[in-house]
Homo-oligomer: A and B are copies of this chain.
Amino acid sequence: MSVYTPVSEGELAAWLANYSVGTPVACEPIKAGIENTNYFVTTSQGRYVLTLFERLPAEELPFYLNLMAHLARHGIPCPAPIADLQDRYLQRLNGKPAALVTRLPGRSLERPSERDCAELGALLGRMHLAGRSYPEYLENPRGPKWWRFAAKEVMPFLDSPQQELLSKELQFQSEQRFPDLPRGPVHADLFRDNTLFDDGRISGVIDFYFAGVDCLLYDIAVCANDWCLEEGGAALDAGRARALLGGCQSVRPFAPLERSAWSAMLRAAALRFWLSRLYDYHLPRPGMLVHAHDPEHFRRILDERVRAKAPWLT
């Protein structure tokens, strides 16, 4: 479980006195997540998530919190940060930067249907349109610069076919230039477990702490590589991939350039998660409480994306 920083009942009650959310009723540690300490907090007013930031650079936190606030007030069902009595989203608790956000209803899906993928696509489209007016800038923290750093660190742990796949993909990606693709703030980590469904509709998109400004299409590619896999495999299920793209298109029509960039973008999204999983697996941070995901899953996906033609809308 990932509670790096314990918070006692008394500490929570004193801290909540800085807010207008009523008095605490319950507080329960959240076991998922590897980056931050999270608690479900219930007060006399409502249900919230308390996050203590363990690792993210403090100067980047306003980008994430203000982005969530921006999207929430545009009607996107994402956690809305709660401002304290001094009108700040970011506080401190037990020596850590901390924030309180609304807790959203619903549950994540393990096996999304085509309909669910279309729903996700439409939500991505709406989120991308709403994000257009967000004025702050943070480069995608897991973008090409980070790939090169992480690749150098993990290379010694790989066997030679893996080294070759990684080197060739970095080379391929370095030759891709998409300066004219639509860009904006993207979630960049919208896996199934970060999406809550309630009664067939998306009731929450959560965990914005890998967000940054990048190609909007990259966000869709990250989703496709998690939501649209063939059962037990690494290949894309054409039906669900088309449903995802169709959902996006219904809200934000694609630019012609996006179609031609789709294949490279799916490879970039696979590369990013292969690299981060390799990194966490071979170079775990001291005190890391959660076992790293198996990197092999995303190696297979990358390998498959390099070999196979990616389905597009028609």
Q: Could you tell me which A residues sit within 8 Å of B by CB distance? A: 19-22, 44-46, 69-70, 72-77, 80-87, 122, 126-127, 129-130, 132-133, 201
Question: CB < 8 Å: which of B45, B73, B81 contacts A80?
Answer: B73
Binding site of A, secondary structure by majority: helix, strand, loop or mixed?
loop
Which chain B positions have C-beta within 8 A of A80?
72-73
Contact B81 A73 (CB under 8 A): yes
Which chain B positions have C-beta within 8 A of A70?
83
Nearest chain-B residue to A125 (Cβ)?
Answer: B20
Q: If A22-B126, A127-B20 touch, does A77 touch B133 (CB 8 Å cutoff)?
A: no
Contact A73 B69 (CB under 8 A): yes
Question: CB < 8 Å: which of B44, B76, B84 contacts A201?
Answer: B44
Query: A77 CA to B47 CA in the complex, in Å?
Result: 12
Contact B20 A133 (CB under 8 A): no
Q: If A44-B201, A201-B44 touch, does A20 touch B76 (CB 8 Å cutoff)?
A: yes
Nearest chain-B residue to A84 (Cβ)?
Answer: B74
Contact B45 A77 (CB under 8 A): yes
Contact A20 B126 (CB under 8 A): yes
Besides A20-B129, A74-B85, 19 new A-B residue pairs in contact (Cβ under 8 A), listed by A number:
A20-B130, A21-B74, A22-B75, A44-B122, A44-B201, A45-B75, A45-B77, A45-B201, A46-B75, A69-B73, A70-B83, A72-B80, A74-B83, A74-B84, A74-B87, A75-B82, A83-B133, A85-B130, A86-B133
